[in-house]
Structure 1
Amino acid sequence: RKNLNWREMIKLAIDPELAREKHLRSGGNMDDLECSMCGEFCAIKLLKDALEEKKKE
């Protein structure tokens, strides 16, 4: 989950087809870098972005 790799998470789901359907129906796509629950407020994405900014300093 930390890597926001939706293809892999869906592949590993108990019911991959249902997981894929729900992910797409929620407005997500397989290449999103944030989750459909948090959207732009995704804590994982925000932390990742902040750490990348810190490296640039």
Structure 2
Amino acid sequence: MPKMVYCNFCKRPIKPGEGLMYVRLDGTVERYCSSKCFKSAVKLHRNPRRTKWVIKSAQ
């Protein structure tokens, strides 16, 4: 059974075989559920706490 992974930006679960995997120069692996999350995090440097469509974690 594949391990459940979550989007680094919006924290939604990613099904096996879907989404984007981004490897930074230092070797850290980041997974994103869609190009929307990827562009928001990597290209636009948005803060996920300030976007309305991101799942807010209960603290």
Whether the TM-score (by the shorter chain) exceeds 0.5 is: no
TM-score between the two structures when normalised by the length of structure 1: 0.30
TM-score (norm 2): 0.29
Higher helix proportion (structure 1 or 2) = 1
